[in-house]
Amino acid sequence: MLLNLILGLWLMISPFVLVTLNHTILKTLWEDLLLGFGIAAFSLCRLLSRKEDEIALSDWFVTALGFITLINPFLYSYFKLKAAAWNNLSVGALVLLLALYQDWCDTDARDNAQHESRT
């Protein structure tokens, strides 16, 4: 999904942008850089895939990375860095919800196609 790709790219560059608010945000640099790269890469794979197996695998990776991004502030306890914590919570929630919605739409479309092929 294109929006997840954009959110992944934002997560990659966000520590450099948010450093203007607080210099200690660079502590979250590596986690956000890696998670953002993974979200962006698997979202791009999802956009370019044509096989159902590849699409499903990309969806699951994006969903898992969105969940990890969402819980990242809890795992590393950086709530003192409010901008970084809220950034991860919001991006993680959006990526997770969009990935689950896309998976639901794909499953619904697949079920409808199977139903039409039977009749």
pLDDT in tens, 50-59: 888 888 899 9
Print the domain residue range for 34.
2-118
How many domains is the chain built from? Answer: 1
What's the pLDDT score for residue 78? 82
- CA gyration radius, the chain: 16
Residue ranges in 19-81 assigned as alpha helix (H): 29-48, 52-76
Q: How far apart are CA 30 and CA 99, in angstroms?
A: 23
Model's pTM, two decimal places?
Answer: 0.87
Nearest to 25, CA basis, from 52, 17, 12, 98 = 17
